[in-house]
Amino acid sequence: MLIDWFTVGAQVLNFIVLVWLLKHFLYKPVLNAIDAREKRVAAELTNAEQQMTEIKKSRGELQAKGNAFDAERAALLAKAILDAKTETERLLGVARQAADALTLQRNAALHGETARLSDDLSRLAAAESISIARAALKDLAGADLESRICEVFVRRLRGMDSPTKESLGVLLTSPTGKSVVTSSFELSSRDRIAIQTALNETFSADIHLVFEPSSNAIAGIELSAGGERLSWTIADYLKALEEKAAALLSAESLAGGMPADTTPVRSPTLAAAAA
């Protein structure tokens, strides 16, 4: 077989030229494109990793902010509950104080009304007692109530104890002192003379007296000198009666019924009549 070396050389030359052309015009642009694509992919992967890192970081920050927000919300809620409880207690305290003040005011008003009613009842009882006693004394003994009161008072002047007599005598015999006899009614001349005589004889001196009627006194006579007082009034008996009635009412309110001791207080006018 004959070899055509010219044809072989031409083909080798063509192959070399083809390889050179492929290398410079095909493979190199393809390789460059592949390298560029790989670099772009690598850059995109790097960028994606950076974005993932930033996303994780942002998510961590958001989680931290969320936790902080939850903690702050819980703290604010607890503070709001505490403030509401404190304000509620304060308002309840204010309302309780207002209620206590209202109760005290109502009790004070009730006490004042009770005291006024008690005073009115005492005066009414005294007036009725005086009226009944006056009528009874006139019917039974033929004596006037005022005269009987004066007799009892004179007897008390003559029968005073030594300490009272001593202290009262110093004041009655003092030239600068003022001795006043106050009565709930206008004393007659005979009653004034009886009182004056009893004092003069008791203290062995001429006692200067001023006689003054008083509408505030309740059926009685009082001798006052320099702060010292000696008196006989139905008001004293009414006070004892009032204390007895108050004790009975208190015992009844505590026990829920009438107490065992319900002995009536002796009528002051009857005591005066019997004295």
At 255 the pLDDT is 57
At 139 the pLDDT is 53
Select from 269, 268, 249, 265 the least CA-distant residue to 257.
Answer: 249
At 245 the pLDDT is 60
Last residue of a domain, one of 100, 124, 157: 100
Task: Provide the 10 A C-beta neighbour count for residue 145.
Answer: 22
Is residue 2's pLDDT more than 80? no
Q: Are residues 150 and 95 in the same domain?
A: no
Tell me the average pLDDT across 177-182.
83
What is the rounded CA–CA span in Å between residue 62 and residue 70?
A: 12
Last residue of a domain, one of 72, 100, 128: 100
Q: Are residues 51 and 168 in the same domain?
A: no
Q: Are residues 94 and 174 in the same domain?
A: no
Q: Is residue 188 part of a domain?
A: yes
Placement of tokens 């960028």 in the chain: 47
Q: Is residue 121 part of a domain?
A: no
What is the rounded CA–CA span in Å between residue 21 and residue 262?
A: 147
Q: Are residues 149 and 59 in the same domain?
A: no
Q: Are residues 161 and 268 in the same domain?
A: yes
Q: Is residue 110 part of a domain?
A: no
What is the rounded CA–CA span in Å between residue 70 and residue 98?
A: 41
Sheet holding 228-233, edge to edge: 209-213, 179-183, 220-225, 228-233
At 133 the pLDDT is 58
Q: Which pairing describes strands 179-183 and 209-213: parallel, antiparallel, or unpaired? A: parallel
Q: Is residue 118 part of a domain?
A: no
Number of domains in the chain: 2
At 271 the pLDDT is 41
Q: Are residues 186 and 260 in the same domain?
A: yes
In tens, the pLDDT along 23-69 reads: 777 777 777 888 888 888 888 888 888 888 888 888 888 888 888 88
Q: Is residue 120 part of a domain?
A: no
Q: Are residues 148 and 96 in the same domain?
A: no
Last residue of a domain, one of 35, 66, 100: 100
Q: Is residue 107 part of a domain?
A: no
How far out from the chain centre does Cα 20 lie?
A: 114
Task: Provide the 10 A C-beta neighbour count for residue 248.
Answer: 15
Q: How confident is the model at residue 269 (pLDDT cuts 50, 70, 90)?
A: very low
**Residues of the chain by 3-state class (helix, strand, coil), percent to 5:** 75, 10, 15
> Comparing 248 with 198, which gets the higher pLDDT?
198
Most confident residue range from 98-112, 130-144, 207-221: 98-112
Is residue 198's pLDDT more than 70? yes
Q: Are residues 203 and 90 in the same domain?
A: no
Tell me the pTM.
0.40
In tens, the pLDDT along 78-124 reads: 998 998 889 889 898 988 899 999 888 988 888 888 878 877 776 67
High-pLDDT (> 90) share of the chain, %: 1
In tens, the pLDDT along 148-167 reads: 888 888 888 888 888 888 88
Instruction: For residue 206, give its domain range.
Output: 143-274
The crossing angle, in degrees rounded to 10, of helices 189-203 and 145-158 is 10
